[in-house]
Structure 1
């Protein structure tokens, strides 16, 4: 595997490189508006599904809180309602966190063929890239879902404790948001670079190892993307640029094919 830029990829310079890759993606889709529109379709579908799911969760969060706290039925009305409101807020908050950390994976699963084609066109425009392995569609989807579930598991290992630490005074308003953005950003980069890395025959373990070895660019790219994805509907608009930017990142650092599927 190419390690180009790894030695110089740490610290502030590495973070700046990661940010640069994202804006290169923005520049590419702005020059190819049809590709941007092409990449909006699966992101828009996923966005509508998530909005509907969160609306249902918000509607029934109170009922879930009441179901989970039968022991509070004999409490005073004020204490009972306060407890259930707090639990309802936590339930909805967890649902929102889960939506944020799974949106990209679900969008990529829905729009796999869209984003594979978009990423290929970025590489073709830059002089060509490795030929994607000839894998049956069912196997590609199965592997994508499996890898996304593994990534989601690692994300939850970090984000669930951070979510509850967010209620701790001072730490929850200072340290936790920074750590949360770093964790979410890194794993967002893992998801977004999957298409271009798989084209280079890089397995999930190889991809993780490669990005851990270049944490600064991965964090620079991922944190910026994560912060933009927090803005309602901007995740939809930015997804094609994020895919293009991830392709720039992979092409710059891992251009030769490597590993085996």
Structure 2
């Protein structure tokens, strides 16, 4: 495929999110309900981080009683440790936010993709992930995020290009994982196991990536995930249907 074709595939995938916003006109109440999971997770994570900021001084003091008599070096040690603790907490929150949102929002998002299936016509699958399966998938996604994040921290240490390469690669990988999870729900509801889902996505990697890139980019904007996630669920359902129609 040529470069133009590759760009076209990514743009087509991104366009599904834009199409998903059309559901606001048809089912505003349902889409408003779909904003709650990301908003709830954002508030909980934000509250946890603010609480940590208030408690971090006491925490690092408790962790370093051996440094009480070090004078200036005690302060240097504890300030550095506080920065590491807060930075680590922010990193953990960023790589687990998607998994937490999908876990909390699975019942809400299921209603959205079923409504989308009804609008598209044809049989609506009766299957669903269920609570425990949704929690397991969210935990797996969070674990992937931690593994990718740790790897990218190492890449980021490379001289000159490490930070740019690490940030770009991390964004693309996170986008692909997120798109896979969004598409996995309507596909698995039809009884497709992991192998069958991989087969359905084969040959459509750029469209899948485009869907993920737009959704992941929204996570970088304050309240972006809250606004975009319902539309991304609708767009992913539309894309899943078209992927299945392309199967022999």
User: In which range does the TM-score fall when normalised by the shorter chain?
Assistant: 0.7 to 0.9
**RMSD of aligned Cα (Å):** 3.0
- Alpha-carbon distance, 1:230 to partner: 1.6
What is the distance in 1 between the residues matched to 2:142 and 2:209?
17
Q: For the structure 1 residues 11 and 58, does the alpha-carbon distance in structure 2 shift closer, same or farther, using more than 3 Å as the test?
A: farther
Aligned to 1:96: 90
What SS does the aligned partner of 1:111 have? helix
**Runs of 5+ consecutive residues of structure 1 not aligned to the other structure:** 1-5
Partner of residue 166, structure 2: 176
Change (3 A) 1:253 1:67: farther
Distance 1:13 1:256, change over 3 A: closer
Residue in 1 aligned with 2:118? 124
Q: CA deviation at 1:80?
A: 3.7
Distance 1:253 1:189 in 2: 13
Within 1, Cα distance between the matches of 2:31 and 2:196?
29
Q: Which shifted more, 213-222 or 17-26? A: 213-222
Report the Cα offset of residue 161 of structure 1.
2.5
| Residue aligning to 1:3 | none
Are the counterparts in 2 of residues 193 and 250 from structure 1 also a CA contact under 8 Å?
Answer: yes
Paired position in structure 2 for 1:59: 54
Counterpart Cα distance in 2 of 1:67 and 1:117: 47
Residue-by-residue CA offset, 1:44-81 (whole Å, 9 max, x unaligned): 2222212112222333334444455556555452x443
Q: Is the 8 A contact 1:165 1:171 kept in 2?
A: no
CA distance in structure 2 between the partners assigned to 1:57 and 1:202 by the alignment: 42
1:119 Cα deviation after fit: 0.6
Equivalent position SS for 2:22? helix
Partner of 1:48: 43
Deviation at 1:151, TM superposition (A): 2.4
TM-score (norm 2): 0.83
Checking the alignment, whether the CA contact within 8 Å between 2:155 and 2:163 is kept in structure 1 is no
Match of 1:16 in 2: 11
Aligned pairs for 1:155-170 (under 5 A) are 155-166=145-156, 170=160
Q: Structure 1 length as normaliser, TM-score? A: 0.79
For structure 2, the residue ranges without an aligned partner over 5 or more in a row are none
Instruction: Find 1:251's aligned residue among 230, 237, 241.
Output: 241
